[in-house]
Structures are given as structure tokens and as C-alpha cells.
Amino acid sequence: MSGKRGLVRSGTTVDQMVRAIADRIVTGYLRPGEKLDEGSLAARFDVSRTPVREALGQLSAIGLVERRPNRGAIVAVVTQEHLASMFESMGELEAICARFSAERMTGAERRSLEMEHQASARMVQLGAEEDYEYFNTEFHSRLYRGAHNTHIHDLTVATRSRLAPFRRAQFMLPGRLAKSWQEHDVIVTAIMRGDAAAAGKAARDHVSIVSEASAVFATVDPVEPRLSRSARR
Amino acid sequence: MSGKRGLVRSGTTVDQMVRAIADRIVTGYLRPGEKLDEGSLAARFDVSRTPVREALGQLSAIGLVERRPNRGAIVAVVTQEHLASMFESMGELEAICARFSAERMTGAERRSLEMEHQASARMVQLGAEEDYEYFNTEFHSRLYRGAHNTHIHDLTVATRSRLAPFRRAQFMLPGRLAKSWQEHDVIVTAIMRGDAAAAGKAARDHVSIVSEASAVFATVDPVEPRLSRSARR
DNA sequence: CCAAAGGCAAGTGCATGCACTTTTTGCCTT
DNA sequence: AAGGCAAAAAGTGCATGCACTTGCCTTTGG
């Protein structure tokens, strides 16, 4: 087992399948409701059905896919309410991370957070969407790590990745870079002066704005179930 | 497929395996670090290794077991820090649920919360440990549901179940029923008057007391890795 | 007496096969 | 033309088999 599979790095075949499929889901390449046929996936990745099945099982355990016994798996469909609940949770989780970060970040962590944040101002000026997006991810990760709580970190990362497909919406909002930077600035300032309450509130607000943008725009429309003959018009 | 397996209710074989194994882990029947041999488990439940493997994969996806490629699976070992981080997270999650409950519970939910809570006072008087424990679980579930946020609900339930093995410690604390009831009372009162902040704080405090009890007492000692000859005395 | 080398048993990882369930299709009825 | 039925096709669920990896144990040379 070496350079066999194309797009994946390492680990067992099952791990590779999990990553490959999860990736296609969170990047939106596979749309909610889309059927995940074991045979096709197996053929697609040139493995047998066994590892594909295991991967689907794991993905369903973490909520990315939905399994209907004897009826195959589909990319998890999130209802409008569930989406809202995830965004709200995300706000609370980010708030916790920010609060903890304000209280617990080491000197080094604070410094590099501040520095990177300042550096990102440049990207805003230049309108470097892609670079800023990359920075943004890193920025939030810093907050999650800065909380110095593994479990919260994990919950937050997991929730964030499940929301990934729905955050693409905000991309098209005009002036969002500047706005995002402003909000980051409030968070960073609060953290730097150790104001946990303010940091928490700012982080929550930051998310809820993303949330609204996503809600308005793109609810990544799910794939319609194939209509059978009887339903044809 | 009907009344074949003894202790499980329904669903596919894999689901049954997941439940059966998860149950043994959260009830502490399987101890952290204990080896989970696919063959033995398969024999134990009278199925082939395939569904056992899938179950172990799913359990590892949710963190209950740990898989070392080519080296088998063990019940997840939680370090002292990780345990602390889970308790802390639990406190925050319960706080969120309590806050939301204070703001969002319907009239019916409030009434039944209050009623059940009052009824539980009787169990405290009688020292009915077992009954109270059952009520306690239900009490917390009410808070999780009362938050009216599916995702938070799920995160909280998942975290709670991972902490289950470590909460057994507090059972032996004298006077804990009365203390627990007092704390519940503070939470209920705050919720009834819609005081989100107070409800959140009370819920967090409630957890942190359980946390301390557990930390002092039982950190369910993990199974030692088998000693090789060179380490024998 | 110890360290490295090699062999063996146990156990994992994946492929394949078959039974069973669901879905589709083609045909017949009304 | 719409509905109903049954057989075929497609697809899932689990068992089994085999190649490979790992850990343990013995052997061998120092």
C-alpha cells in the first residue's frame, strides 16, 4: 500500500476513504441528499466495498452522512432548523473559546494572534479574498487552541466543519472582508486586555453575522430524490 | 434477523454492536485501555468480524474507542487533563442549556420540570439513591431538550455519555442527594423566573461540583498494558 | 549473559461471495 | 392511459478467506 490512491495522503484505506468522502462533502462537491452508492464509490477509488462501507459508517457516526438501513447512504440533509441550531451552537462555542482565550492564552499565543491579525489588514486592503479566507481559518483555530481545552476544541472544530458547506454563501457579500476584520479586531482587543466577557460576546456576534448571511443566501439546495414513474407528470 | 442476539433491541447488526459495546464502555464494564479483540467480540455476540469491525470504527469516530492501525482497538484512555477538559466543557454546555431553557422553555416544559423536581424531594428524604439517579438523568435531559437547539442537545448528550464512567465516583459521597437537590433547586428557580444568567451560572456550578468529586475519587484506573518478559520482576 | 536475528502465532485489513431487501421495469388489466 | 402486479435488476448486509502486520519467543553469535 503506497502511492496507490491518488488524492489522499496516508493511513489505512478506510481512513483515506473517510477523508476523501468527508472532504467532498464539506467542500460541497457532494451535495446534501446526494446518494452515496457503495459500489460506485468503491469503483471510483479502486477499493472493495468493505472499506467504503466502514467509511460511510464512521461518517454517519459523526453526522456527515445519513444511513437508511438497506436503503443506502446519502449526504446528510440538514433542515433549516438544524442549520440554525448549528450556527447558534457555533456562536456559543466560539464564545466559550474566546472567553477562555482571554483568560488563558500564553504570552506567545497572544503576541502571535495579535501579529497575524494585524498582518491580515493588508489582505483586506488588497481585497485578497483567498488569502484572507486562509488567514481567517487560522485565526479561528488560534482561538480554539487558545482556550486550552481539548474537548471544547474538538467540539468546535467538528461543528465548524459541518457548517463549512454553508459558509460559502457569505463569500459574495460586498465589503465582508473589512467587516470581518473589524469584528476580529474587537475580539482580539478584548482578548489582549483579558476581558473574557467582552471577548465572548464579540465572538458570538461575529458568528451570528456569518449565520445571517448564510441563512439569507445559500441553503445549498439538496438533491431531489429520484422520482419514480408513478410520480411523473 | 429476529430474536437472535440476546441483549439488544433492533436495527442492523452493526447498530446492535455499537450499542452493545458502547453500553459496556459507558457503564464501566469495559475499562479504559482494555483491549477490544475483534475475534473475541465477534464470538461473544455470535456474529462475524465484519459488523464488529464497523462498530469499532464508529465508536472510534465518536471517541469511545481508540484504534491503532494494525494493532487493534482499545477502550479510549482519557488522560487526567482530557478528563478535566471534558468536565469543564460539560459545565459550559449545561450552562448554555440552562440559559436557553430559561429563555425558551414552553409553559408545559416549565411546569413539568418544576413538578418533577418537587417530586424528587421525596426521594432525597427517603435516601432512594437509585430512584434519584434515574430522576437526575431525566432532569438534565429536560434541560437539554428545553434549550430547543438540536445541535447543542446532541453535543451535550454525547459529552455526558463520555463522562458517565467517571461520574460513578460521586455515588459514595455522603449527603450528595440533598446537595444535588439544592443545586437543582437553584437552577429550577432561575429558569422559572426566566433569569438566563443565573440559570447558566447555577448549572455550571452544579457540574463543577460533580467534577471535583470525580477528580478526587475515581479516575477509573486504566488497564495496564500487558508486561513483556523484559519487564517482569 | 546480553543483543540481534529469525520464526511463529495471533490478529488486523481488505476482497470476495452470497443471501436478502429495495427499487425498477415490463406487462397485463381495467 | 392509469393502475397493479410480478419478475428482474440493483444495491445493501454480513460471512468467509487470505495476505499482511505485529508482538512474542526462541535461537544464535558475540
Residue A226 falls inside a structural domain: no
Number of domains in chain A: 2
Q: Could you tell me which residue, B1 or B91, shows the higher pLDDT?
A: B91
Q: How many residues does chain A have?
A: 233
- Taking residues B125-146, what's their average pLDDT? 94
Q: What CATH number does the domain containing B104 carry?
A: 1.20.120.530
Residue B8 falls inside a structural domain: no
B86 & B192 share domain? yes
A152–B89: do the CB atoms touch at under 8 Å?
yes
Instruction: Quote the pLDDT of residue B171.
Output: 66
Nucleotide D2, nearest residue via CA and C1' = A230
Which residues does B103 contact at the CB level (< 8 Å), separation at least 6?
Answer: B194, B196
Which residues does B189 contact at the CB level (< 8 Å), separation at least 6?
Answer: none
Residue percentage of chain B with pLDDT more than 90 = 74
CB nearest to A150's CB, from B69, B85, B155: B85
Which residues does B162 contact at the CB level (< 8 Å), separation at least 6?
Answer: B26, B63, B64, B86
* CA torsion through residues A219, A225, A226, A228, sign: negative
Q: Strand C: which nucleotides have any atom within 7 A of a protein Cβ? A: 11-17, 21-25
CB nearest to A96's CB, from B14, B92, B159: B92
The long-range contacts involving B117-122, CB below 8 angstroms and separated by at least 24 positions, are B117/B184, B117/B185, B117/B188, B120/B181, B120/B184, B121/B181
Instruction: Quote the pLDDT of residue B215.
Output: 62
Instruction: Quote the pLDDT of residue B129.
Output: 86
Give A1 CA → D19 C1' in Å.
Answer: 12
Q: What CATH number does the domain containing B60 carry?
A: 1.10.10.10
Dump pLDDT digits (tens) for A149-161.
999 999 999 999 9
Per-residue pLDDT for B1 more than 50? no
Does the predicted TM-score (pTM) go above 0.85? yes
- Taking residues B83-90, what's their average pLDDT? 95
- Conformation bin of residue A117: beta by default, left when phi > 0, alpha when psi is -120 to 50: alpha
CB nearest to A54's CB, from B53, B82, B152: B53
d(CA B12, CA B204): 38
Of the three residues B57, B75, B93, the one that is the final residue of a domain is B75
Residues in chain A whose Cβ is within 8 Å of chain B: 11-12, 14-15, 18, 50, 53-54, 57-63, 69, 81-82, 85-86, 88-89, 92, 96, 149-152, 154-155, 159
Per-residue pLDDT for B221 more than 90? no
Instruction: Quote the pLDDT of residue A173.
Output: 75
Instruction: Quote the pLDDT of residue B209.
Output: 81
Dump pLDDT digits (tens) for B174-185.
788 899 999 999
* CA torsion through residues B122, B123, B127, B128, sign: positive
Instruction: Quote the pLDDT of residue B231.
Output: 38
By CB atoms closer than 10 A (0-12, 13-18, 19+), residue A175 is exposed
d(CA A33, CA A134): 28
Interface A–B counts its CB contacts (< 8 A) at: 72
Instruction: Quote the pLDDT of residue A103.
Output: 98
Which residues does B41 contact at the CB level (< 8 Å), separation at least 6?
Answer: B17, B21, B52
CA B188 to chain centre: 22
**What residues approach strand D to within 7 A at the CB?**
A 1, 36-39, 49-50, 53, 67, 69-73, 230; B 1, 12-14, 47-51, 54, 69-71, 226, 228-229
pLDDT averaged over 10-residue windows placed end to end, chain A, 233 residues: 44 93 94 95 96 97 96 94 94 98 98 97 91 95 98 97 84 82 97 98 91 63 53 37
Give B92's contacts in chain A (Cβ within 8 Å).
96, 152
Residue A221 falls inside a structural domain: no
Range of the structural domain that residue A101 is part of: 80-216
A47 & A98 share domain? no
Interface test with A, best of B16, B82, B83, B89 (most A CBs within 10 A): B89
- Taking residues B80-107, what's their average pLDDT? 96
B92 & B193 share domain? yes
Dump pLDDT digits (tens) for A116-148.
999 999 999 998 888 999 999 999 999 999 999
Of the three residues B75, B90, B118, the one that is the final residue of a domain is B75
A157 & A175 share domain? yes
A26 & A133 share domain? no
Instruction: Quote the pLDDT of residue A232.
Output: 38
Instruction: Quote the pLDDT of residue A155.
Output: 98
Dump pLDDT digits (tens) for B5-50.
444 456 889 999 999 999 999 999 999 999 999 999 999 999 999 9
Give B204 CA → D5 C1' in Å.
Answer: 62
